[in-house]
């Protein structure tokens, strides 16, 4: 099938086609995902935890993401490649531009950054310079010190209203895609209905326009961290790497993953 483009993402949302996303950090897994129905591949700063063995994503550098992005890019001919702007590389518009140039020159087609607030100016600055941006709201792991842990976000009325306003603001600032991490399903469904750009959920219920999982979680690999409730071991179900990827892609497209047991109801 044809390669994904950034405008194609909004088309998919309009036409009600679910988006299938996974993280990858190397060429071999990228090729397996590209060949087995994954639409979007994310070089996430989760690599700090699952590849490098840190307790958070804070130690990850732009050079780390560039290294893994280049390896992943060489494995993709169909899926769209998104790469994370790591901790504070997006602290100012100018820093974010320099980091984004490095990621796009390594083969990324979109950069992802966490938060709204002062990041709205960063999103606008990048989007105006034709750098496609994916926003990430809800449980933003780069804010772990402020949050005091990895916790579900948007649970009370005020936090839910703020998240909805932030989602509308990032879309208005020029983001093309929005990851929602660890938010109650009803809120993620409301956010998805309120904006024209696709939402990609992780621990955000079945009402999003697509889903993403971290590779190691999706394969049932014990990364030494607590396994959240939204994680499902697709290797157990699929029987092989290719089978796991196909089972995940099908489950996302037919709406059977995530189900209530892999979501937060409130």
45 near Na ion, judged by CB under 5 A: yes
Distance CA 43, CA 81 (A): 8
Distance CA 127, CA 19 (A): 22
181 near Na ion, judged by CB under 5 A: no
Backbone phi, then psi, for 43, in 5-degree steps?
-85, 95
Residue for token pair 């490649």:
81
Stretch that binds Na ion, among 79-87, 180-188, 245-253, 255-263 (CB under 5 A): 79-87
In contact, 9 and 81? CB cutoff 8 Å: no
| Contact residues for ligand KIV, defined by CB under 6 A | 23, 42, 44-46, 84, 136, 179, 181, 202, 212, 214
Does 112 show up as a binding residue in the annotation?
A: yes
44 near Na ion, judged by CB under 5 A: yes
150: tokens are: 């990895």
Distance CA 131, CA 111 (A): 8
39 near Na ion, judged by CB under 5 A: no
Does 128 show up as a binding residue in the annotation?
A: no
19: tokens are: 């988006």
121 is catalytic: no
- Find the binder of Na ion among 34, 39, 64, 84 (CB under 5 A): 84
- With CB under 5 to 8 Å by kind, the binding choice for 202 among ligand KIV, Na ion, none is ligand KIV
List the catalytic residue out of 94, 121, 181, 237.
181
Q: How far is the CB of 214 from Na ion (least distance, A)?
A: 9
Smaller CB separation from ligand KIV, 134 or 239: 134
Does 56 show up as a binding residue in the annotation?
A: no
Smaller CB separation from ligand KIV, 2 or 113: 113
Distance CA 161, CA 170 (A): 14
Smaller CB separation from ligand KIV, 36 or 57: 57
Smaller CB separation from Na ion, 68 or 238: 68
Query: Cβ-count burial of 158 within 10 angstroms (0-12 exposed, 13-18 middle, 19+ buried)?
Result: exposed
Distance CA 248, CA 212 (A): 10
Exposure on the CB side of residue 49, measured as CA atoms within 13 A: 22
Residues making up the annotated binding site are: 45-46, 84, 112, 114
Active site residues: 181
Residues making up the annotated binding site for 3-methyl-2-oxobutanoate are: 45-46, 84, 112
């Amino acid at each position: 099938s044809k390669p994904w483009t950034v405008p194609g993402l909004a088309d998919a949302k309009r036409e009600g086609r679910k988006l299938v996303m996974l993280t990858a950090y190397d060429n071999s897994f990228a090729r397996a995902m590209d060949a087995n129905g994954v639409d979007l591949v994310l070089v996430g700063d989760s690599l700090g935890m699952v590849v490098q063995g840190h307790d958070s994503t804070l130690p990850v550098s732009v050079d780390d993401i560039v290294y893994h992005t280049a390896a992943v890019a060489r494995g993709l001919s169909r899926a769209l490649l998104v790469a994370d702007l790591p901790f504070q590389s997006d602290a100012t518009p100018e820093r974010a531009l320099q980091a984004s140039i490095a990621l796009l020159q390594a083969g990324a087609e979109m950069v992802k950054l966490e938060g709204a607030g002062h990041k709205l100016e960063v999103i606008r600055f990048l989007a105006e310079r034709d750098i496609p941006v994916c926003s990430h709201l809800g449980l933003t792991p780069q804010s772990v010190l402020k949050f005091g842990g990895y916790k579900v976000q948007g649970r009370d009325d005020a936090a839910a209203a703020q998240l909805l306003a932030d989602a509308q603001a990032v879309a208005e600032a020029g983001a093309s895609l929005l990851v929602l991490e660890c938010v109650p399903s009803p809120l993620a469904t409301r956010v998805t209905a309120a904006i024209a750009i696709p939402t990609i959920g992780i621990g955000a219920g079945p009402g999003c326009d697509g889903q993403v999982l971290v590779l190691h979680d999706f394969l049932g690999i014990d990364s030494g961290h607590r396994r959240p409730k939204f994680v499902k071991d697709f290797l157990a179900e699929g029987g092989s790497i290719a089978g796991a990827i196909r089972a995940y892609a099908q489950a996302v497209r037919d709406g059977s993953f995530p189900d209530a047991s892999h979501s937060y109801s409130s």
